Structure 1
């Protein structure tokens, strides 16, 4: 504890020393509004804050849907506002001054005149609009926009259509988290916090564009349905060194700490980069489980109460280099790894009786589970521009090695109704070494066939081997011996060969893209001592994207894609893990992949209001269920016949005042599950549900405040009836010395309302689960950015992304 707060003390001391001069000269907020000749608002116009002395740009932004703009953290001085928009003449304000004794300054409304120049000659120039809707993505063209000046990559990303960032820097796309973030078409293997540190230290002037991809094309792995955000950076031509240091502390039932260091250096044609992070995250969970087991005319009640304290330590590193061999060829290498240690202490008490509250017998199971997870990965990449027309080829080679070693000890005491022990304790222990190796190669080729037609093609080959060895022992007369009923070894191998073609055609008012991806999979699941499970299958994954501009403010788009989700390696592992002798979970070596057909029809109004209707149907849906065998219940995954989903998503930002903005996202949906002959019963469940999220952003006296609320109604998932969930989060932050220092304080689940409550009355189950984690968390984070803000590494999306995501356990 002393060490943790010593770290924070020294970091805070550096901060306050740096702030001593800042408070002597406070920074202000400048706000204003743009109107046209008729007094109507001018939304999404480019606004620049210029120094009056030499007209250099200090910051840039966009007006919101109410025509308002805001600049914060502005030093005292004399300034001019410059506004530009398509169809209007450039407008500038009179010179105004910001003094050090005022926290805010309001610029008089600026009126923009419609451009009425008479052209004697016609000059055609290629100018990209700020917001551009392409066939399979929405693009924000940041390069050459005033938006790039004075803002960080994170601040620009917050303005991208459909993108929201919560107080913990988690990025959501159309209200859905789990978004894949790439930089220059390459995956960033970073946590949300590490990615936020990178983006907040990236100067907006280094960004070319931001691409939002809600339904990935055939170019990307067919696995998964998450959207993609791709940040494209300009070519780095400047030399120097930069980086950032972040330290934080959090408090719930335990004390958490985190720290990270990011460094980048460029000299000549060589760019070297690296990052290191470490954290300690203790957590606590309580769970109450009430089960009723009916056998014939007898009903037995199992009442279980479990306390689950957990301690988690992580250490991550990432180093790499890019070498520009020529102006058209860049070679790169990235090495990353992590070591995570987890310690679980479960204390479980089970009372058994023929009536609620009655105790005919009882047992206590205490378990200690210690896990160490290690990962090491190497990526080699090469990108070659073949000509000036846009013909390119890129190659990635990947190797990943994962190791997980788990040791568990179980002590179970059995008691009579009067509290006396029935017999000596039952002693069990497990050791579970697990190894995963991944090899991957991929190559991508792109060639423009004409000014409006582009061809993309590529191949990918991956190979995976997992080896899991469960060594279970039980104590007999005080001596541990092998427990053959629980010991086993599971070896799984998988090879995937893939290829794809994409063809894109652009029209005057729209575009069409068709794609086809083929993946041939060979797998072998071998539970040593039993018959191996061999599979081989060839799948085709078509995709179609259509975009049509209806008017200046309206766009219509349609997309379709077929996707696959293969079981994670842990789900395929048939090991048995015990909570107590009556409750356990196990994997399923016979799980098959699930296939989904996704359809989405979307409408975008004024580049801000986004409405979409989606339909998807999944066959062989991988679903978690609980089954009952006699007086025992176990959790596993099965393939249900179908899962059907309808959803309506509405996202819109809004402005209340110059200092109060927000957004709201509504997602209404229906999930239905059907399957016959599951453990002797049938499943036919479905329920309408919705999720409502809203975020309020406040600016006051140089501070940024954020309050977000989340409500998810009750829903049905498979055999589970899941109760409603709701929570409120809040945070406040402030930046100093031109955003080099940032201080942020936040509270998760302010009212401590977040719970996970589940019931089930299907397939012979009759149980209720009540769970509560230590979700109310107080957090303080301090970040310091140093060096040149224009030196950034060339991030890349490695070839083994899909395979690595299926490992799990290494967060």
Structure 2
């Protein structure tokens, strides 16, 4: 009853609001003799310099932009090498702009439409990293994210503002994939068709409260009518080779934009581990297990992205998008040699282990959007439907042999494990944008989502006589979740102030059921998620303030209640009793001249979900368990500069110093343990544009992280230095790139867990030093090919 009343109220709020009107901007482009300029490029920019729309003048030099929302805009007209820009104009009604005068017009023979943007743009709720025309654009998207200001990658996990709860979006659509599969998708996708990376540090109420912060990968659209495409090839050499090849296709018509890109990746990865664990008996050290392990993976992945935008008429538009990945016949061979000694160093036994894992994974996320521009002052109604299908099949064989000596804590056996997880996710959302006045806009909307996850497992061959270990022989775990959400937000700007206020409400029903134990967990909860961002700008000074509250629900793989072997003395298990985590974040920024920035921040989290490894001293095994931390406190200060030091050198430099404290319950003693540290993060990104024709790009990136923590583990410091080059030729239709990551091979991880009866040291050595070589060739209609004298050609009509 409460839920029905809640939904009814939200529906009434959404559909009883009044609607408003679209505006038209038009004008004339003339030369210094007051003659009209035909086929001049005209683009509409936001106050922050973002591209909104583009067109060309007709044979009378006339241009027009329709369906424009009230805001402040600039208009830029260009012809050959000449450019003119209008003053910033606030649009509150349809308007004709004063004629734009281009000096010294010439015949239009061949023009490339380009727009120079700063590489880093600071906005109230996000910062935007423009990657076009940098040495990074021939790499893959994962490499670009690792170099994006404000983003840190540690242990193949993304961190923003110190939080690993980061969601990935592509063109505003969330990618619903587990972390490992997101990495596979992004490493197999070329960055050459990425326009920018938006790091949303204060997500508006429109977005789901689920997860932490947002990274939105904005893909390019074809600004020139007709068809063009590209072929790309990327080779990476570490200890083992990796290879990606693919193609992009773009088509733009009068009312249709279509793009697709396909890539195939074959990655072979190599990792070495050294693990030393000291086990205890009756509170005293008893045995030392030293394991040398090696992992070799062989993965093939097909990635396909489709984007279609159709303008049905001046008021209606639909969009279709799909992101799919298929990784068949993946394989990982994990071998280990473990020596067991007593505390005096006397040899007791040697174990040999071999874990052979085969996998097949498929994911497809599909979206349908409809946008209707209402008939009053630019009001807009939009509806989105989304469906994701995910299937992960794993087949695993674990062999364990005692090649020397004897230990009672393990036995010789061969384990066979088969598991499958299928996830179906559906969501629908309706949003209404309503200008309230010249300076304020309201957004409100409703969302419903249903999720079903079915996980199954079959294990055989394990020794069930060992106490404390109870691997799941077979089982099916079914999990269902329903989410009902609504939000309202107001965006206001007046004089030098901007304010965004939002409130999101969510009601959640969950049920998890394990068939063989008749185990059922159910929960329902209702939450409010406020957010606010505010800015004040005066001359060269800007002040920002932001606050938000977020929720992180347990990942579907983490709540599976299965216990299964990773090796003879290591076990992984899920936790169906995981609680949702909540986060409250506040930040204050000061920016001078758009280039210099200082900010202070604080974040409090409760019930944060982490996977921790702890040693079971009764069975001499290592257990990987998902738990809820009691609390996490995270606060600190950042100072950064992003500036063109010369005409060819752009610098981004960051110093971040923060305190991180995790509190958790020890599973053996039930006592609260605190792990805390002060950490310093340094980053320097240098981007160079070289040669007279600006056809050579270079970037030098340095990252340093002092000792840090995560849950019960403490990580030693590490650093990385990378160098990349990109050279264009053939009139910029082709490019070659090459680079080296982690030149001095200092990017490996070393961690310790040392408290109470836990004593473990782990060294992880991945392929961090990599040589990368790439080639890209563009073809098709990449330029406007027309002539001043030929006013009415078909190409002119297409534009």
TM-score normalised to structure 2 length: 0.75
Of 117, 132, 148 in structure 2, the residue corresponding to residue 172 of structure 1 is 148
Aligned to 1:156: 117
Deviation (angstroms), 1:774: 1.6
Assess if the C-alpha contact under 8 Å between 1:281 and 1:313 holds in 2.
Answer: yes
Aligned with residue 257 of structure 1, among 243, 246, 249: 243
- Contact kept in structure 1, 2:400 and 2:413, CA below 8 Å: yes
- Residues 298 and 145 of structure 1, relative CA distance in 2, 3 Å threshold: farther
My pick for the range that moved more, 156-165 or 353-362, is 156-165
Q: Choose the corresponding residue for 1:214, options 201, 205, 208.
A: 201
Structure-2 residue corresponding to 1:720: 713
Q: 1:229 to 1:467 in 2, by over 3 A?
A: closer
Cα deviation for residue 764 of structure 1 reads 2.2
> 1:788 aligns to what?
781
Q: Does 1:346 pair with 2:334?
A: yes
Residues 195/778 of structure 1: CA separation in 2 closer, same or farther (3 Å cut): closer
Deviation digits for residues 478-519 of structure 1 (CA, Å, limit 9, x no counterpart): xxxxx9754332211111111100022322221322111011
Distance 1:498 1:696, change over 3 A: same
Residue matched to 1:505 = 492
**Structure 2: how far apart are the matches of 1:151 and 1:357?**
71
Which residue pairs with 1:463 in the alignment? Answer: 450
Which of 338, 349, 354 is the matching residue for 1:366?
A: 354
Is 1:729 aligned with 2:722? yes
Verify: 1:592 aligned to 2:569, yes or no. no
Matched with 1:633 is 622
| Partner deviation per Cα, 1:440-468 (whole Å, 9 max, x = no partner) | 11111110111122111011111111111
When residues 485 and 468 of structure 1 are mapped into structure 2, their CA distance, relative to the original with a 3 A threshold, is: closer
In 1: Cα distance, 2:263 partner to 2:446 partner? 34
Q: CA deviation at 1:735?
A: 1.1
Kept after mapping to 1: 8 A contact 2:167/2:211 = no
How far residue 366 of structure 1 moved from its aligned partner, in angstroms, is 0.6
Cα distance 1:55–1:263, how it changes in 2: closer, same or farther (>3 A)? Answer: closer
Q: CA RMSD in A?
A: 3.6
Question: 1:661 touches 1:697 (CA, 8 Å); kept in 2?
Answer: yes
**Kept after mapping to 1: 8 A contact 2:471/2:564:** no
Matched, 1:408 2:396: yes
Q: What is the 5 A alignment of 1:504-653? A: 504-530=491-517, 531-549=519-537, 551-629=538-616, 630=618, 631-653=620-642
Equivalents in 2 of 1:214, 1:364: separation in Å?
47
Structure 2 equivalent of residue 277 of structure 1: 263
| Contact 1:173 1:227 (C-alpha < 8 Å) held by counterparts | no
Partners of 2:225 and 2:39 in 1: how far apart?
23
Decide whether the 8 Å contact of 1:414 with 1:422 is kept in 2: no
Range moving further from structure 2, 184-193 or 506-515? 184-193
| Structure 2 counterpart of 1:393, from 364, 373, 381 | 381
Taking the aligned partners of 1:144 and 1:231, their CA distance within structure 2 comes to 33
CA 1:195–1:181 in structure 2 vs 1: closer, same or farther (change >3 Å)? farther
Counterpart position of 2:687: 697
Choose the corresponding residue for 2:482, options 485, 495, 504. Answer: 495
8 A Cα contact 1:429 1:473, kept in partner: yes
CA distance in 1, matches of 2:760, 2:87: 70
Moved more, 262-271 or 495-504: 262-271
Deviation at 1:212, TM superposition (A): 6.5
Report deviation, 1:613.
Answer: 0.7
1:420, 1:229 → 2: CA distance?
Answer: 52
Gaps of 5+ in 2: 1-36, 44-75, 92-99, 104-110, 137-142, 159-165, 177-184, 464-469, 785-799
State whether residues 413 and 421 of structure 1, in contact with CA within 8 Å, keep that contact through their aligned partners in structure 2: no
Residue in 2 aligned with 1:747? 740
Q: Aligned in 2, Cα 1:156/1:738: closer, same or farther, shift over 3 Å? A: farther
CA offset at residue 279 of structure 1?
0.5
CA contact (8 A) 2:188 2:244 kept: no
Contact in 2 for aligned 1:292/1:300 (Cα 8 Å): yes
Contact 2:200 2:213 survives alignment (8 Å): no
CA contact (8 A) 1:392 1:445 kept: yes
Alignment of 1:76-95 (within 5 A): none
CA deviations 1:587-610 (Å, max 9, x no partner) are 111111100001010111101112
Deviations 1:550-588 (A, max 9, x none): x20101111111001111111112333433222222211
Does the CA-based 8 Å contact 1:627-1:763 persist in structure 2?
A: no
Distance 1:357 1:145 in 2: 84
